[in-house]
Chain A
């Protein structure tokens, strides 16, 4: 199980989450997004970048509420809400956006 692009091979698990976060690239994100039927826009990137920054600091994805608060600050109230997040990432911001951002899947009762 691996993503292939430009002669690079990046392993992923059964669900498409890459197993080595250091191998992530913007190019790879586009490929993962395509598999998820998502066309990456600036708004998508805003979320993905925030997730990556947060992960770098805390080794985990942020709570959905924390993500939304940050997006509200950067993109305004119209976009900083859960509905808009689901508009961007229909399978849920935590799981789908994490996958594209190269983060591990959040586990547990979530």
Chain B
């Protein structure tokens, strides 16, 4: 309320408050639900193909099993006092007004069932404590509203007990999978990674062709033989990046940026076709086993290629799964060089070089850009970069300031640990959920509008494949160009001065042409 009063005190011309709280509209998003996973997709990753007959018993058993295996889940289900601190913190609530998108109300969908079957008060006084029987309607509600949570953890920052709705929604999705009600988008993708190695289903042959094509582009642009090596045994560095970096716009430009930095430093590095995916969708569905399977692919690739280091490309949830979980799921990584963080983020890598003055930048190459930075939720609240808490906020910004002259932060209550999800995270980046994605993006779009109005900001940088795709899709609806969402390493790529690169003076005409093309090519695709 206090913050609200301050915000309202601004002049009438001020743009809409990014965090403006809507009126409650019960049921507004009740019809939002993802496509169900087919029997084939379900069974491939160890779940029943359709709703099982004894789903109720199995769901309750699974809930009990999960509560026994996860202290977080147990504490979170037991400890809420309904204080209301989280009620205005979810971007999906702010965008939709549906009260079931308030974090505590979302948690209560599961908590009320937990209370009914696992607590004294819920067993004997269900009405008093809001305990409910597990019915088909409840299951439908779970399917709908636990797929309106991007597991971004913004609410958990504000909870006096640190209750993390992400953990609850992961548990709910795992229960849904267990009884045969999985979501198509996530489960199809997990299956693809387990058989092919990446979310896209990009086979080695296609990946190689794509990388060769991109190498040609790099040579055209720079006159240098910059490599995108694949499956090179004995390379020092294994780069694990989201497969969107091989396919989508603007993601590809980020990949070219990593390649340029590696090239400039003379690094021996490689991509693996077997582990050609940084994202770990096993996390989205709360399945430890699936998450572990995917993580073990990365270990196996590192062992077989004999690398010394693992570096992750720009990918949000992937970095959480890598930074916080990889060691648990697939460690110990005692066969890697212990002088480097395991795993390391590409931003940590580039930042270290900047700190050592090992890279030269021509910042004027980014002078057409007035930039702000979107802290991707899972990087911001689920991981770290560097040695000190908050490095995940400072390191990306330090890189951006090193390569771009015009940098401006969005309002303080919408960045860093308070950052807003792009609206497409947590397994929601699928077309049938476009309505909730669009609504969830509103707070971020309003914050962006504010810096656009105040500082003439034109571009938004992010280090998450999901954020990039989501924004490429939605920015045009808010009056921005599709290509105003950029990778950090795309800006690095623009500004980096490579030894022996064709200079502007040598080859003016062609360079100009290329610049034009680049701008066109940057347009996103979704």
- Measured CB to CB, the residues of A under 8 A from B are 14-15, 58-60, 62-66, 68-69, 77, 81-83, 86, 92-95, 104, 106-110
User: B189: CB under 8 A from chain A?
Assistant: yes
With known contacts A64-B248, A95-B431, A108–B200 Cβ distance under 8 A: yes
From B203, B523, B526, A110 is in contact (CB under 8 Å) with: B526
Determine if B526 and A95 form an interchain contact, defined as CB atoms under 8 angstroms apart: yes
Instruction: Tell me what chain B mostly uses at the interface: helix, strand, loop, or mixed.
Output: helix
In angstroms, how far is the closest chain A Cβ from the Cβ of B159? 28
| 0/1 interface trace, chain B 292-304, chain A, CB 8 Å (1 if under) | 0000000000000
Determine if A106 and B247 form an interchain contact, defined as CB atoms under 8 angstroms apart: yes
With known contacts A14-B35, A15-B432, A109-B242, A82–B213 Cβ distance under 8 A: no
Cα-based distance from A14 to B206 in the complex (angstroms): 27
Determine if A83 and B523 form an interchain contact, defined as CB atoms under 8 angstroms apart: yes
With known contacts A63-B246, A82-B521, A82-B525, A107–B466 Cβ distance under 8 A: no
Determine if B206 and A110 form an interchain contact, defined as CB atoms under 8 angstroms apart: no
Determine if B525 and A109 form an interchain contact, defined as CB atoms under 8 angstroms apart: no
Determine if B469 and A109 form an interchain contact, defined as CB atoms under 8 angstroms apart: yes
User: B188: CB under 8 A from chain A?
Assistant: yes
Determine if A108 and B242 form an interchain contact, defined as CB atoms under 8 angstroms apart: yes
Cα-based distance from A59 to B466 in the complex (angstroms): 24
In angstroms, how far is the closest chain A Cβ from the Cβ of B465? 4
In angstroms, how far is the closest chain B Cβ from the Cβ of A93? 6
Determine if A58 and B205 form an interchain contact, defined as CB atoms under 8 angstroms apart: yes
Cα-based distance from A70 to B192 in the complex (angstroms): 27
Choose among A82, A93, A104 the residue with the greatest number of B CB atoms under 10 Å from its CB: A82
Question: Chain B contact residues (Cβ within 8 angstroms of A): what range?
Answer: 35 or more
Closest residue of chain B to A108, judged by CB?
Answer: B199
Cα-based distance from A106 to B466 in the complex (angstroms): 14
Determine if B520 and A82 form an interchain contact, defined as CB atoms under 8 angstroms apart: yes
Cα-based distance from A55 to B130 in the complex (angstroms): 54
From B198, B217, B252, A108 is in contact (CB under 8 Å) with: B198
29 contacting pairs across A/B (C-beta < 8 A): A14-B35, A60-B200, A60-B203, A60-B206, A63-B213, A63-B247, A63-B248, A65-B213, A65-B217, A65-B521, A68-B520, A68-B521, A77-B517, A81-B521, A82-B521, A82-B522, A86-B482, A92-B525, A93-B525, A95-B526, A106-B200, A107-B192, A107-B200, A108-B200, A109-B199, A109-B251, A109-B279, A109-B469, A110-B469
In angstroms, how far is the closest chain A Cβ from the Cβ of B33? 11
- Measured CB to CB, the residues of B under 8 A from A are 35, 184-185, 188-189, 192, 198-203, 205-206, 209-210, 213-214, 217, 242-244, 246-249, 251-252, 277, 279, 315, 429, 431-432, 465-466, 468-469, 473, 482-483, 517, 520-523, 525-526
Query: In the complex, what residues of B have CB within 8 A of residue A109's CB?
Result: 199, 242-244, 248, 251, 279, 315, 429, 465-466, 468-469
Cα-based distance from A77 to B520 in the complex (angstroms): 11
Query: In the complex, what residues of B have CB within 8 A of residue A106's CB?
Result: 200, 247
Cα-based distance from A44 to B525 in the complex (angstroms): 17
Determine if B185 and A63 form an interchain contact, defined as CB atoms under 8 angstroms apart: no
Determine if A14 and B432 form an interchain contact, defined as CB atoms under 8 angstroms apart: yes
With known contacts A65-B521, A66-B210, A60–B249 Cβ distance under 8 A: no
Cα-based distance from A14 to B36 in the complex (angstroms): 10
Cα-based distance from A109 to B244 in the complex (angstroms): 6
With known contacts A107-B189, A108-B243, A66–B213 Cβ distance under 8 A: yes
Known: A108-B199, A110-B465. 11 other contacts (CB 8 A): A58-B203, A59-B203, A60-B202, A60-B206, A62-B210, A63-B210, A63-B246, A63-B252, A94-B525, A107-B200, A108-B277
Closest residue of chain B to A107, judged by CB?
Answer: B189
Cα-based distance from A86 to B192 in the complex (angstroms): 28
Cα-based distance from A60 to B208 in the complex (angstroms): 13
